[in-house]
Amino acid sequence: MVLSVVQPVEEQSSSIIDSVFASRYVQDPLPRYRMPERSIPKEAAYQIIHDELLLDGNPRLNLASFVTTWMEPECDRLMVETMNKNYVDMDEYPVTTEIQNRCVNMIAHLFNAPMVETRNAVGVGTVGSSEAIMLAGLAFKRKWQNKRKAEGKPFDKPNIVTGANVQVCWEKFARYFEVELKEVKLREGYYVMDPVKAVEMVDENTICVAAILGSTLNGEFEDVKLLNDLLTHKNKKTGWNTPIHVDAASGGFVAPFLYPELEWDFRLPLVKSINVSGHKYGLVYAGVGWVIWRSKEDLPEDLIFHINYLGADQPTFTLNFSKGSSQIIAQYYQFLRMGFEGYKNVMRNCMESARLLREGLERTGRFTFVSKEKGIPLVAFAFKEMNSSLAFKLSKALRHYGWIVPAYTMPANAEHVTVLRVVVREDLGRQLVEKLLSNVGNALRELIEAPPTVPRITVTLKLRQTGSEGDGAEGSLVMPLTSMNWKQEESDIIHKEVVVMGGKTKGVC
């Protein structure tokens, strides 16, 4: 089942692929939506796909995405060398399994997990933070259900409390696994979850409260410590023992290096699990995430499967099974290559680029900022006039220069605020920031300072003389209706008799 269809207008009537340079190898066109009957040379297959991919955007200029778009050549080579290894086959690839375990332990230490031994961290590599959140949510749901069953209480109406600024994967979890999603609405000037309101929404059916370390809307960190303190007080009062999950997809590899004093992780007793995206500020290409639990007690044993058909007992807790090991290897490469010092330097450079971008945008005098100085390297801004159409027009205008800068409206109770957002990754250096600011200035002049363009319609009239030649002769005007009414689907010819002075037979007006 195809869940998304992207078919440009020019392709709607085309069922074949043009081979362009590959025509040196392939003389006949290839079908677009069914498998070709015959094989083609490898050079032709490469050239066809290569040419079509030229129409994609430039990943380096895609400022909408948090996902890493550049890695060192040595790491690229390692990924190619290991992409044919199925990393879940632990018996066949024990070193790959050991490398995954090392990554889990490194991240657990980074997040201050209370580990007695050096190798007893509880966690798993996932396909991005979406799978990680699904696994963490399932663990909370199952643990809550087991407790309710033991107490002889209903266990069919679990809910989870989040802010309205959560990423869509939380809505997916709630819908797919039948958990009510209770969202704390936003308000103008406050675009993250309010811990006070979140704790007020907690009831005996709440499996956890999800806090975000680095909102995708404006990069802001939610106050996890305040949430922990308020929830601890409520737990003592009610006896519910409601836990916290931290969605650190974007901020998990930022906060430990830039804000080590900030308490958001396992230093807070109610934080039972944390997810983080290795393919964001973990500096790995798309396809890797991590979820870490505080202890074995926080991951119900009945969710773990033990298989042996690959040759040995293999405990597994994933939604996906077979997948290449290249992203896991790339994550380990970055940990070894960069170390704490390297990550700290990269994050500082990203924040410096974000600061330069913000200052440049401030100088235009056009924008107000919704991102915070303390958060992930991101600049989110809106027009001071609160003109949503201008935001979308600027986003579109920047595409003409190759930049992808998204414009979007805020969630519930703040929908009237339209924001543009620039994610500052490692590969957005100072030169690119300066070029972006120059292009923003040009786009603003085109949109705001330039006079409005007056539409011009050119109509060609063909005049046919019907009388005798010479001055005073009569003629007829032949006018295609489509030249006067562009909404008309079928071209029609109308004839109007007019007096033509002189022998002029064609005019343009």
Could you tell me the CATH number of the domain that includes residue 41? 4.10.280.50
189/419 Cα distance (integer angstroms): 12
Q: What is the pTM of this model?
A: 0.83
From 449, 483, 498, the end of a domain falls on 449
Judged against a pLDDT cut of 70, whether residue 292 lies above it is answered with: yes
User: Does 475 lie in the same domain as 433?
Assistant: no
- Residue 442 and residue 466 in one domain: no
Q: For residue 393, which amino acid is it?
A: K
Last residue of a domain, one of 56, 78, 95: 56
Q: Band the pLDDT of 30: cuts 50, 70, 90.
A: confident
Residue 409 sits in the same domain as residue 469: no
Indicate whether 272 belongs to any domain: no
422 found inside a domain: yes
Whole-angstrom Cα distance, residue 44 to residue 67? Answer: 31
Q: What count of Cα atoms within 13 Å lies in the side-chain half-sphere of residue 95? A: 4
In a shared domain, residues 434 and 484:
no
Does residue 385 have a pLDDT over 80?
Answer: yes
Dist CA 56 CA 67 (whole Å):
16
- The pLDDT value recorded for residue 158 is 98
Torsion angle of the four alpha carbons 34, 36, 42, 43, in this order, in degrees rounded to the nearest 10: -80
Span 119-130, average pLDDT: 91
Considering the domain architecture, whether residues 372 and 432 belong to the same structural domain is answered as yes
Is pLDDT at 418 greater than 70 in this prediction? Answer: yes
pLDDT at 509: 38
Least confident segment among 60-69, 131-140, 462-471, 490-499: 490-499
pLDDT of residue 69 exceeding 70, the answer is: yes
Residue 450 pLDDT:
63
Confidence (pLDDT) at 290: 98
Least confident window among 92-106, 204-218, 324-338, 443-457? 443-457
* Whole-angstrom distance, CA of residue 289 vs CA of residue 295: 19
If 0-12 CB within 10 Å is exposed, 13-18 middle and 19+ buried, where does residue 309 land? Answer: exposed
Q: Domain check: are 471 and 497 in the same one? A: yes
> Is position 401 within any domain?
yes
Same domain, 383 and 465: no
Question: How many domains is the chain built from?
Answer: 3
Mean pLDDT computed over 95-102: 92
Half-sphere exposure of 75 (CA within 13 A, CB side): 19
Task: Output the CA torsion sign for 75, 80, 86, 90.
Answer: negative
Cβ-count burial 208-238 (b if 16+ within 10 Å, e if not): bbbbbbbbbbbbbbbbbbbbbebbbeebeee
Give the model's pLDDT for residue 94: 87
pLDDT tens, residue by residue, 433-453: 999 999 999 999 998 876 555
Instruction: Tell me whether residue 307 is in a domain.
Output: no
Establish if 372 belongs to a structural domain: yes
SS3 state of residue 378: strand
- In the DSSP assignment, the letter for residue 187 is B
Q: Examine the domain organization and report whether 364 and 440 are in the same domain.
A: yes
Residue 273 has pLDDT above 80, yes or no: yes
Residue 388 confidence (pLDDT): 81
Q: Kindly state the percentage of the chain with pLDDT values over 70.
A: 81
Domain contains 377: yes
Q: Is 43 domain-assigned?
A: yes
Q: Tell me, what's the pLDDT at 479?
A: 55
Parent domain of 481 = 460-508
491 and 435: one domain? no
Is residue 503 pLDDT above 60, yes or no?
A: no
Facing residues of 125 across strands? Answer: 290
Per-residue pLDDT averaged across 56-77, rounded?
95
Lowest mean pLDDT among 134-143, 215-224, 297-306, 499-508: 499-508
Q: Are 209 and 162 in contact (CB under 8 A)?
A: yes
Of 4-18, 278-292, 329-343, 353-367, where does mean pLDDT reach its minimum? 4-18
State yes or no: pLDDT of 230 exceeds 90. Answer: yes
Measured torsion, CA atoms of residues 41, 42, 43, 45, in degrees rounded to the nearest 10: 90
490 shares its domain with 430: no
Is the CB of residue 285 less than 8 Å from the CB of residue 71? yes
507 — pLDDT class (breaks 50, 70, 90)? very low
- Whether the pLDDT of residue 475 is over 70: the answer is no
Residue 29's pLDDT is 80
Q: Is the pLDDT of residue 395 over 90?
A: yes
Q: Looking at the structure, do residues 367 and 425 belong to the same domain, yes or no?
A: yes
Same domain, 444 and 478: no
Angle, in degrees to the nearest 10, between helices 94-110 and 326-364: 40
Coil, strand or helix at 214: coil
Nearest to 213 by CA among 174, 257, 172, 182: 257
* Interval 202-226: pLDDT, tens: 999 999 999 999 999 999 999 999 9
The domain boundary, picked from 449, 471, 497, lies at 449
Domain membership of residue 197 (yes or no) is: no
- The CATH number linked to 372 is 3.90.1150.160
Residue range 56-67: mean pLDDT, rounded: 94
Q: What does the alpha-carbon distance between residue 136 and residue 160 come to, in Å, rounded to a whole number?
A: 12
